[in-house]
Amino acid sequence: MPITIPLTLSSEMPTVVQVTTSSEQRECVVVTGASTGIGAASARELARRGFHVLAGVRRDCDADALRAPGIEPVILDITQPDHIAELATRVGSQAGALRALVNNAAISVNAPVEALPLEEWRRLFEVNLFGHVAVTQALLPALLRHCGRVVNISSVGGKIAMATYGPYAGTKFALEAVSDALRRELTPLGVQVVVIEPGGIRTEMADRGIATTSRLAEAMSPQQRDRYGPLVQAVTAQTAAFTTSGRSADDAARVIAKAVTAGKPRTRYTIGRDAALLTRLSRVLPDRMLDRILAAGLRPYYPKTTTA
């Protein structure tokens, strides 16, 4: 960002000198889970808006693909304390203020509650919840110094848990609760907390989630396959359909950038008509009626020889 500085030389007219602001002096935003999808799109959108983005990625090849003016990739696994410590050190060395932390890293798993091994439950919570808490704790001193904000990427699954979404929705319900508590703790201290609730988004994460669901379904016992096989197939087909017709990652990135830059951000933003509709229904409908609506919506996706 060029800064115009007038320099007066003796009695002559002022001479204008153009000075370029370095990345170290620009406001900084940290985005976790920026290798692909919403995270990568958000890093690009925030860089376009003039921020210096520290973009957390898992692999060197992802860093090479994302690196661009305004984007500094950093190797970051949010379940690794040493990675988080290195990130906090890098933020501390940044001359520009830390404007926001965007907690976006996540993995997607769909499986019946009975059928998902406990180690998979723990891995899911480590990434989708505990990792975010760890990064937030590490960067809060910088956010407090600069009156920054925390933007937590939740999901429509943080408001409504459909069949086989128990593990994933469990992490997002928990993230919503942590976000509410954090907002009430930090607002008096000048730090705002915002939650983003996307619905169907066309990203690589959705494809990876479907692949993981298929892998876990194959590992179910014969009895579990009898109980849940058609349900898992229906949910997988419905998820693929919703993803194909969903919003783009760039659309989601613009909402996230708004949450970062708005003078008075809302506490929550939904992304997509499906997210807006489902979150409203979850607030106003009795549980049993909502169960019937969700079951009816899933029924067309069951295998043809199976009745829901």
Q: Round to whole Å and give the CA distance between 43 and 30.
A: 9
Q: Round to whole Å and give the CA distance between 215 and 207.
A: 13
Q: Choose among 308, 248, 251, 242: nearest CA to 274.
A: 242
Q: Round to whole Å and give the CA distance between 121 and 212.
A: 13
Query: Which amino acid is it at 283?
Result: R
Query: Which amino acid is it at 290?
Result: L
Name the active-site residue from 168, 228, 269, 301: 168
Cβ neighbours for 67, distance < 8 A, ≥ 6 positions apart? 73
CA 293 to chain CA mean position, Å = 27
Bridge partners (DSSP) listed for residue 197: 270
Verify whether residue 302 is a known catalytic residue.
Answer: no
Q: Choose among 96, 179, 106: nearest CA to 142.
A: 96
Bridge partners (DSSP) listed for residue 17: 5
Q: Round to whole Å and give the CA distance between 192 and 116.
A: 36
Count of Cβ atoms closer than 10 Å to residue 1 Cβ: 9
Within the chain, where are the H helices?
A: 37-48, 60-66, 81-92, 118-125, 131-146, 166-186, 204-218, 222-244, 249-261, 273-284, 287-298
Task: Report residue 308 as tokens.
Answer: 């829901």
| Residue whose pair of structure tokens reads 């501390």 in the numeric block | 92
**Residues assigned a catalytic role:** 168
